[in-house]
Amino acid sequence: MMNLVIFGKPGAGKGTQAGILKEKYNLVHISTGDLFRYNMKNKTALGQLAQSYIDAGDLVPDQVTIDMLQEEVERNPEAAGFIFDGFPRTTAQAEALDQFLESKGMMVNGCVALEADDEVLTLRLLERGKESGRSDDQDESKIRNRFAEYNEKTAPLKDYYTNQGKFHSISGIGAIEEITERLSAIIDQLPK
């Protein structure tokens, strides 16, 4: 069983790399963005609950996100492991993930951060916004706001996973294949 947390600022390549790694290591990719979209589109109880917070202009509480994630893990009992993309975003979420995985006899084997300069990421996101039509990738001030939120809330995860001896950082700049090789070099050394 191999469970990975992949994180980095918006545009760092998490989704792209998670898609490659899930095939290479036979893992289930759990993207919280995809989970939210699935649950809200299909009007599940959790999706409707999340939508009610969003409609009110509030942040969705951690517990709703954790419940969605738990359901997804439990839907895949035969999985060789999971890649968590976009979760955890805070230390409280990381603690909740650890508790949940422990209850299933599992753990996070490693956490890998894709590092890249804000200027490079801004250009990537603006380009992605042109191609995808995503409004949050077309406005530089919104992009920079997302970076600030990442620095405030998600960067402390580095300390959380460093204290567990599970944090690894690689450059997210370069060809997709090069970045995959850097990630694989770390993943192949993780304790199973």
- Judged against a pLDDT cut of 90, whether residue 53 lies above it is answered with no
Question: How confident is residue 56, by pLDDT bands cut at 50, 70 and 90?
Answer: confident
The answer to whether 37 is a known ligand-binding residue is: yes
The answer to whether 13 is a known ligand-binding residue is: yes
Residue 58: what pLDDT? Answer: 81
The whole-angstrom separation of Cα 47 and Cα 35 is 9
**How far, in whole angstroms, is CA 92 from its chain's centroid?**
15
CA angle, 30 as apex, 96 and 142 as ends, to 5°? Answer: 85
Residue 168: what pLDDT? Answer: 96
What predicted TM-score, i.e. pTM, was given to this entire model?
A: 0.87
**Per-residue pLDDT tens digits for 125-135:** 898 888 888 77
**Per-residue pLDDT tens digits for 136-173:** 788 888 888 888 888 888 878 999 999 999 999 999 99
Residue 119: what pLDDT? Answer: 92
The answer to whether 134 is a known ligand-binding residue is: yes
The answer to whether 55 is a known ligand-binding residue is: no
CATH architecture of 2-187: 3-Layer(aba) Sandwich (3.40)
The answer to whether 14 is a known ligand-binding residue is: yes
Strand 2-7 relative to strand 110-115, pairing: parallel
DSSP label at residue 45: H
The answer to whether 32 is a known ligand-binding residue is: yes
**Per-residue pLDDT tens digits for 6-21:** 988 888 999 899 999 9
Structure tokens at 172: 């997210």
Structure tokens at 56: 């009110």
The answer to whether 164 is a known ligand-binding residue is: no
The answer to whether 167 is a known ligand-binding residue is: no
Residue 143: what pLDDT? Answer: 87
**Per-residue pLDDT tens digits for 73-126:** 999 999 999 999 988 988 889 999 999 999 999 999 999 999 999 999 999 889
The answer to whether 174 is a known ligand-binding residue is: yes
